[in-house]
Amino acid sequence: MFLELTEEQRLIRDTARAFAAAELAPLAARLDRDGDRPAFVANLKKLAQLGFMGLDVSAAYGGSEAGAVAFSVAMTEIARACASTAVTVSVNNMVCEVIEAIGSQEQKERYIPCICSGDCIAASFALTEPGAGSDPAAMVTTARRDGDHFILDGTKAFITSAPYAGVFVAWAVTDRDAPRGEGISCFLVESGTPGLIIGKEEDKSGQRASATCSVTFEACRIPASALMGELNRGFRVAVGELAGGRIGIGSLALGIGLAAMDFATSYAAQRSQFGQKISKFEAIRFMIADAYTELEAARLLLMQAAYRKEAGKSFAKEASMAKLYATEAANRACYKAVQMLGGYGYLGDFPVERYARDVRVTSIYEGTSEIQRLIIARAILDGLS
């Protein structure tokens, strides 16, 4: 593996960094505190125009065709400024990738260009249910065939971007008699479809500018052509796409952790106690050294997973390793940053308080740390046999 970024990857990273600094960072605290949906959406459209909504998607459908490594470094730079924007970008990319992977030609041409261009502000990934989070095979949402249509019934939970999504990739049970994890299919459901009901926005601890809602299907009638891929084979698709999504969330967490430590380190170099800068104290220096070392290790794990995905190699284990380590390292880094600021780190006037709230969920969504450990252990043990 060649660890240096290519010229194109550096350009994408630098473009993301410049945009994040100029457009996202100045708004992040206000979006977190007060909310401003028009400003949030406006930045999503600008990112689409820059090519960030389909980074690993074919140019034939409006994507940037830049690859998984470019996606990872872009996510890190965007998350340094605004985690709420970063998670929206990550999910949009996931939706585009799953449509390109298993969608019909008509589905690819209809939906991917719309998401990549920003005409469709966002897209949503509707997999999780109130009783099926870490165990998606336990989903109870159903889709029954009715002539030339399917009728969806059930509720999804924690759906990112639901109020302003133009299209949902939704999973439902299509064969109740199939063995566990089978008999599940994947559908595209457009916003505004009768029977598609968006619940209230959740009052979250962090990433508050990104809307998260329940989504209910009540006798939601969709055309049979909305089926993506093979009937009853959608669960494998979900598992595969989650692996790619873990690279995005790990990269997002890395960006938050770096932002927190950059701010705290700069603060420590300015703050004086006991007659000297607190950066002179060994305790602070150890925090700085440990946090940056862990974040660099996280970056390398993410690069390995992204490289393997881009090269067409197996990457599920590596993505879980990267997601597990990066999110937990970023959580530790953010809490170190708060500690370095002391009482000021607990105040909303300083960004490390927001970073600590934003980073917490990264070790929960797209598969908890505990689920990642199970996936990693299973892959290692399977390798022995």
DSSP annotation of 350 reads S
Q: What is the pLDDT of residue 237?
A: 79
Do 37 and 160 fall into the same domain? no
pLDDT per position as a tens digit, 63-94:
999 999 999 999 999 999 999 999 999 999 99
Catalytic residue among 77, 241, 328, 366: 366
Do 224 and 276 fall into the same domain? no
Question: Cα separation of 301 and 305, whole Å?
Answer: 6
pLDDT per position as a tens digit, 326-364:
999 999 999 999 999 999 999 999 999 999 999 999 999
Do 170 and 271 fall into the same domain? no
Q: What is the CATH number of the domain that holds 203?
A: 2.40.110.10
Q: Of 120, 148, 177, which one is at a domain's C-terminal end?
A: 120
Q: What is the pLDDT of residue 135?
A: 86
Q: Of 176, 202, 232, which one is at a domain's C-terminal end?
A: 232
On whether residue 202 sits in a domain, the answer given is: yes
Range of the domain at 209: 125-232
Sequence-ordered strand ranges (E) for 182-243: 184-190, 196-201, 212-223, 227-228
Answer yes or no: 218 catalytic: no
pTM beyond 0.85? yes
Do 145 and 227 fall into the same domain? yes
What are the structure tokens assigned to 271, written together?
A: 């703050």
DSSP annotation of 219 reads E
What are the structure tokens assigned to 183, written together?
A: 């008999």
Q: Of 232, 251, 278, which one is at a domain's C-terminal end?
A: 232
Structural contact between residues 44 and 118, judged by C-beta atoms closer than 8 angstroms: yes
Do 342 and 274 fall into the same domain? yes
Do 89 and 113 fall into the same domain? yes
Q: What is the pLDDT of residue 1?
A: 61
Do 365 and 278 fall into the same domain? yes
Q: What is the CATH number of the domain that holds 95?
A: 1.10.540.10
Kindly state the greatest CA–CA separation across the chain.
80
Cα dist. 318→104, 285, 300, 370 in Å? 29, 31, 11, 15
Regions of the chain short of the pLDDT cut 50: none
On whether residue 347 sits in a domain, the answer given is: yes
On whether residue 222 sits in a domain, the answer given is: yes
Question: Cα separation of 299 and 293, whole Å?
Answer: 10
Do 208 and 159 fall into the same domain? yes
Q: What is the CATH number of the domain that holds 344?
A: 1.20.140.10
- The residues, ordered by sequence, that sit 6+ positions from 204 with a Cβ below 8 Å of its Cβ are 212, 361
Do 81 and 153 fall into the same domain? no
Q: 184: helix, coil or strand?
A: strand
On whether residue 226 sits in a domain, the answer given is: yes
Do 294 and 363 fall into the same domain? yes
Q: What is the pLDDT of residue 236?
A: 82
Do 267 and 374 fall into the same domain? yes
Q: What is the pLDDT of residue 222?
A: 98
What are the structure tokens assigned to 276, written together?
A: 């000297």
For the chain, how many structural domains are there in total? Answer: 3
Sequence-ordered strand ranges (E) for 75-191: 122-126, 142-146, 149-160, 165-173, 184-190
Do 261 and 226 fall into the same domain? no
